[in-house]
Amino acid sequence: MFEPTLIIAAASLVGLCVVAHALLTAWRGWLVLKERELANSPREIEGGVGAGAARIEIADLKERIKKLEAIASGVDL
């Protein structure tokens, strides 16, 4: 009644759907986890900037301090 090729194809399709559903569920769970991490982390540092921008700003301030110290000690940049 059913040919073996048809049974193998149907089983493969069902297996692919099961794997795709499992991966989609895992992806959604990972997104929920990341969303919770972002919600629980401090969003702003003083001045209203995010953590990434604050790091850049701190690096910029350190560079300015180095330049001012060099000027104060008389070193030519």
Q: What is the pLDDT of residues 49-69, one digit of tens each?
A: 566 777 888 888 999 999 999
Confidence check: pLDDT of 40 > 70: yes
The reported pLDDT for the residue numbered 56 is 83
Question: DSSP assignment of 36-71, as one string?
Answer: HHHHHS---BTTTB-HHHHHHHHHHHHHHHHHHHHH
Report the chain's mean pLDDT, rounded to a whole number. 86
Residue scoring higher pLDDT (66 or 45): 66
Cβ atoms of 50 and 43 closer than 8 Å:
yes
Helix (H/G/I), strand (E/B), else coil: 28: helix
Confidence of residue 34 (pLDDT cuts 50, 70, 90): very high
Stretch 5-31: mean pLDDT: 97
Cβ atoms of 67 and 77 closer than 8 Å:
yes
